[in-house]
């Protein structure tokens, strides 16, 4: 959530930068400023009313002490009126604050100045590419056919048990999945991230804290009886560890990693591009997140990007990095880099990670602050990234490592799987 003071002091810049998201935010920004002015006026009036009431109350005490009961009782009538006025003003103020917050929740984060303009993913900027695309035989298969051939993932069984988008991993497929999770966690903890095991359901406050609510409410599975949400990513519970927290400056940076299953309704998704592991309702992901000093968050973002690059280099998968344009940028993000692995059998790029800096947007919602060197509370910056999302990494390994004899296992994963070939 954007800070009202920031909006007020940078009105035109905020409107111009939000235009990179292809939205005209001028009406919302002007309304936010107006609501804030009205809120401040009500707050001032309330403060003055309370101050006057307190002053008269002291005067009443003195009058009673001096035996001037009649004068004191006359003033008590005045304090009763002032208290009633204060009560009405307090109600009006709460309503105004609620209206302002509801509006602020609808305004997306301001894109960083280096975010390119654009409408769709076709306008994203490629900033890096590494790895050679393997040359496969004409008989090469997409991963969903390979999964069936080697009996390692059963999509039909998952549909029987639950529905489409809930695959069942079997035998060496399950072991490879577990190996990837452990390998990713090991890489992250070796890089200084502290591992957490977090709940897979969160309350409404957690959803609002990281920005999934109200923006992505329709994409989340909602347990209505308990008003809990299945997590769409470990980012939500892991970041909410620090909700309503005031850190010391020397506590920063904080680096967290964790593995969770993720649940997304993906309403409206259909077609060949979502076949197999390309898009699921339940999938596994290992996440990294950081809580940073505002002066160091973009240095941290670069570090996170390099970390994910290192993992993909060890897996020897061909990949590229995109800087997302304004039209493709997530609601809460100021700057996002997407990693995509090339699927040789599908002849297309598959997104496997997003690494983002949210600046103060989440921290403002979370009330996540640190006490700076001047002793004042200041909002932290939050960042997160997939390290990595498993389905499309697994799809990339199955397709790019397929041979006539079976599917080779990347060398770095063999100590985790205990085998080097799926045949």
Per-residue model confidence as pLDDT tens digits over 261-278: 999 998 655 555 678 999
Secondary structure tally for the chain: helices H, strands E? 13, 19
Which residues contact residue 309 at a Cβ distance below 8 angstroms, ignoring those fewer than 6 apart? 128, 130, 321
Report how far residue 46's alpha carbon sits from residue 40's, in angstroms, rounded to the nearest whole number.
Answer: 10
SS3 content of the chain, % helix, strand, coil (to 5): 50, 20, 30
State the distance between the two ends of the chain, measured CA to CA, in whole angstroms.
51
Report how far residue 178's alpha carbon sits from residue 261's, in angstroms, rounded to the nearest whole number.
Answer: 12
Identify the residue with better confidence: 347 or 238: 238
- The superfamily CATH assigns to domain 121-422 is Bira Bifunctional Protein; Domain 2 (3.30.930.10)
When mean pLDDT is compared across 79-88, 236-245, 333-342, the lowest value belongs to: 79-88
Please tell me the predicted confidence (pLDDT) of residue 65. Answer: 80
What tens digit of pLDDT does each residue of 181-197 get?
A: 999 999 999 999 999 99
- The partner residues of 378 in beta bridges, in order of sequence, read 370
Name the token pair of 274.
């979502």
Q: Give the largest Cα separation in the chain, rounded.
A: 106
Average pLDDT over residues 358-382: 97
Average pLDDT over residues 278-305: 97
Identify the residue with better confidence: 366 or 346: 366
Res. 217 pLDDT band, cuts 50 70 90: confident
Checking if the pLDDT of 147 tops 60, the result is: yes
Please tell me the predicted confidence (pLDDT) of residue 271. Answer: 56
Please tell me the predicted confidence (pLDDT) of residue 137. Answer: 86
Report how far residue 153's alpha carbon sits from residue 169's, in angstroms, rounded to the nearest whole number.
Answer: 4
For residue 253, whether the previous peptide bond is cis, meaning omega lies within 30 degrees of 0, is yes
Chain Cα centroid distance, residue 119? 21
Checking if the pLDDT of 72 tops 80, the result is: no
Residue ranges of the chain that CATH labels 3.30.930.10:
121-422
Report how far residue 321's alpha carbon sits from residue 125's, in angstroms, rounded to the nearest whole number.
Answer: 8
Please tell me the predicted confidence (pLDDT) of residue 59. Answer: 86
Please tell me the predicted confidence (pLDDT) of residue 365. Answer: 97
4-104 — its CATH code? 1.10.287.40
Please tell me the predicted confidence (pLDDT) of residue 272. Answer: 55
* Mean of the per-residue pLDDT values of the chain: 95
What tens digit of pLDDT does each residue of 317-341 get?
A: 999 999 999 999 999 999 999 999 9
When mean pLDDT is compared across 36-50, 207-221, 239-253, 344-358, the lowest value belongs to: 207-221
Please tell me the predicted confidence (pLDDT) of residue 363. Answer: 98
What tens digit of pLDDT does each residue of 373-387 get?
A: 999 999 999 999 999
Residue ranges of the chain that CATH labels 1.10.287.40:
4-104
Please tell me the predicted confidence (pLDDT) of residue 269. Answer: 54
Please tell me the predicted confidence (pLDDT) of residue 270. Answer: 54
When mean pLDDT is compared across 11-15, 68-72, 130-134, the lowest value belongs to: 68-72
Please tell me the predicted confidence (pLDDT) of residue 80. Answer: 86
């Amino acid at each position: 959530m954007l800070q009202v003071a920031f909006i007020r002091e940078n009105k035109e810049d905020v409107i111009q930068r939000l235009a990179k998201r292809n939205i005209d935010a001028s009406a919302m920004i002007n309304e936010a400023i107006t609501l804030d002015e009205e809120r401040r006026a009500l707050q001032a009036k309330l403060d003055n009313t309370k101050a006057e009431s307190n002053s008269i109350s002291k005067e009443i005490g003195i009058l009673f002490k001096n035996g001037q009961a009649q004068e004191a009782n006359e003033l008590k009538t005045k304090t009763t009126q002032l208290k009633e006025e204060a009560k009405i003003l307090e109600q009006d103020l709460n309503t105004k604050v609620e209206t302002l917050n509801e509006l602020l929740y609808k305004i997306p984060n301001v894109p960083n100045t280096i975010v390119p303009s654009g409408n769709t993913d076709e306008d994203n900027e490629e900033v890096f590419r590494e790895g050679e695309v393997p040359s496969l035989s004409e008989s090469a298969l997409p991963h969903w056919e390979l999964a069936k051939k080697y009996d390692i993932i059963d999509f039909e069984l998952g549909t029987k048990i639950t529905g489409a988008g809930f695959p069942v991993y079997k035998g060496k497929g399950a072991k490879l999945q577990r190996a990837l999770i452990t390998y990713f966690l090991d890489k992250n903890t070796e890089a200084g991230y502290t591992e957490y095991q977090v709940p897979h359901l969160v309350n409404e406050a957690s959803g609002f804290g990281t920005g999934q609510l109200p923006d992505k409410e329709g994409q989340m599975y909602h347990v209505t009886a308990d008003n809990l949400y299945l997590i769409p990513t470990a980012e939500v519970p892991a970041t909410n560890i620090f909700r309503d927290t005031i850190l010391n400056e020397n506590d920063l940076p904080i680096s967290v990693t964790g593995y969770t299953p993720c649940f997304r309704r993906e309403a409206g998704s259909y077609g060949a591009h979502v076949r197999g592991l390309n898009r699921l309702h339940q999938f596994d992901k290992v996440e990294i997140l950081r809580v940073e000093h505002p002066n160091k968050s973009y240095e941290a973002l670069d570090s996170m990007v390099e970390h994910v690059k290192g993992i993909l280099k060890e897996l020897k998968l061909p990949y590229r990095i995109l800087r997302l344009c304004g039209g493709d940028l997530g609601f809460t993000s100021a700057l996002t880099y997407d990693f995509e692995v090339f699927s040789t059998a599908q002849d297309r790029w598959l997104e496997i990670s997003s690494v983002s800096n949210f600046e103060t947007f989440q921290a403002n919602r979370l009330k996540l602050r640190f006490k700076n060197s001047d002793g004042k509370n200041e909002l932290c910056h939050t960042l997160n990234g997939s390290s990595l999302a498993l389905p499309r990494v697994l799809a990339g390994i199955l397709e790019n490592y397929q041979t006539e004899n079976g599917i080779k296992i990347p060398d770095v994963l063999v100590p985790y799987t205990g085998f080097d070939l799926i045949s």
